[in-house]
Amino acid sequence: MTTVLFWDIDGTLLTTKRAGIFALEEAASEVIGETVSLTNIETAGMTDPIIAANILKQYGLSPEPKLVDQLLACYVNYLPKSLPRREGYVLEGVIEILDALHDRTDVVSMLLTGNIEAGAKAKLTYYGLADYFSGGGFSDKTETRVDIAQQALAIASEKYGAIPSEKTYVIGDTPHDIHCGKAIGARVIAVATGKYDQESLEEHQPWWTIPSLPSSTVFMEKIGLKI
């Protein structure tokens, strides 16, 4: 039976060192017509459409779907130019684990992210991670994390059949990841490589809380895969 791992991107797999934030600021400045700063707008664990809507509201505009879509389309144009300007990197343990899992037939890595799909693809491609993942849930069609999680699970179930909760894992770095993972009955692995420390994540009672991703052997043993 297939084990399915749903991975968050920002703060879990990689850090862009705010390249995404700068791309959003540039896109919003173009759409709104004035210099935009995201300094006072929460982004960690938030979905792209919600971030875009909050930017528009902060600058006195109604977050109509058409305007949100316009801002995000502009963001997708700026993102590939923004990524090389920052010293982002793939986080500790990610490549080792993804390499160890990649050729196995009993486990699959998918995405569960607040990124829109084009933004996720740009980031993963730039950092050399795109080929490790087999689709997933994105924020293009829904702006809430729980809905994205349900979307991702439905896609996985269609591909691999019914997946029991003990074979379903969500790996993320924020309370939002923990909550959406629990909403689909998954075991949540909370990794403190983003904004939140272990203590803050532990308050939300994930299945496993770790400071960073461990060795591939430790990781696979923890999720019940034979070495």
Nearest 5°: phi and psi at 24? -65, -40
pLDDT digits (tens, 9 = 90+) for 61-86: 999 999 999 999 999 999 999 999 99
Phi-psi region of 66 (alpha: psi -120 to 50; beta: other; left: phi over 0): alpha
Q: Which residue has the tokens 């010293």?
A: 87
The domain limits of the chain are 3-16+89-222, 19-85
Pick the CATH number of 3-16+89-222 from 3.20.20.70, 3.40.50.300, 3.40.50.1000, 3.40.50.1100: 3.40.50.1000
**pLDDT at 44 > cutoff 90:** no
Q: Per residue in 165-198, pLDDT tens?
A: 999 999 999 999 999 999 999 999 999 999 999 9
**pLDDT tens-place string over residues 147-166:** 999 999 999 999 999 999 99
Question: pTM of this prediction?
Answer: 0.95
Three-class SS state of 221: helix
d(CA 1, CA 198): 31
CA distances from 186 to 119, 164, 181 (A): 25, 9, 5
- Above pLDDT 70, what percent of the chain? 100
Examine domains 3-16+89-222 and 19-85 and report if their fold is the same: no
Domain 19-85 has CATH 1.10.287: no
